[in-house]
Amino acid sequence: MSSTKSKLRLVGAFAVLLTLALAVGCRGFFVKPTLTAIAVGPLTPTIYVGATDNTVQMFAVGTFNDGSSGSTPVTWGITGTGTDGQPIATVTTGGLVTAQSSGSGTVTAASNLLPSISGSQPLVVSVACTSAPIVSPTGPVTLTPDVPSQTFTATCNGQDITAVASWLSSNTATATFSANILTAVEGQGNDATFFITATANGLTSSNVQVTTSGF
């Protein structure tokens, strides 16, 4: 009887050892997913120079070769020079961005595991306007075949917001904006009088009259 029990114990112990050996051996089949891409958010954030709304918390999400996604360790960086020649913002190791100077740039997250993989997101730092932007020149402006373009600037609360303002021509068939430069669309009989504006923080400047002549 005791011999039978001993055999059963040996068989049981062997079975346990065999199970453990198989478990250890099978670990090789569970390969850790490889990072293939990084997405950065939130999408195109805007923050403001001043005491309020001057920060944004960025985040990075990794995509892996097995189709899964999740957090992944990254190193944060930021580019962009403001209108005063200073960096537009700073970013901490945790991805917190703080405004310094109005302008536009890019926030980047590079993988700590595979530095060649990174993601980025455009960033706009604006002036927290409390009144409508002021456009210069104030007009009227005339565009001719000899002088077909006009460069405009905008200020708000005494700060230059030209680079972050949204520029609008009320007659895009006659003249269009590229950034803050208005250029007439050349064409026979393409003469008109219209206006342009600059908008920032939901506030719009006074109309500036523009005339195209001689086209």
pLDDT computed for residue 27 by the predictor:
43
pLDDT digits (tens, 9 = 90+) for 170-209: 999 999 999 999 999 987 778 999 999 999 888 999 999 9
As a whole number of angstroms, the distance between CA 104 and CA 113 comes to 29
Per this entry, what is the length of the chain?
Answer: 215
Cis? peptide before 137, omega within 30° of 0: yes
Judge whether residue 101 has pLDDT over 60: yes
As a whole number of angstroms, the distance between CA 56 and CA 76 comes to 13
Judge whether residue 23 has pLDDT over 50: no
Q: What is the dihedral of CA 117, 79, 197, 150, to 10 degrees?
A: -110
8 A C-beta contact, residue 184 and residue 143: yes
Q: Give the contacts of 140 (CB within 8 A, at least 6 positions apart).
A: 208, 209, 210, 211
pLDDT computed for residue 2 by the predictor:
52
pLDDT digits (tens, 9 = 90+) for 136-145: 999 899 999 9
As a whole number of angstroms, the distance between CA 112 and CA 89 comes to 22
Mean pLDDT of 100-119: 95
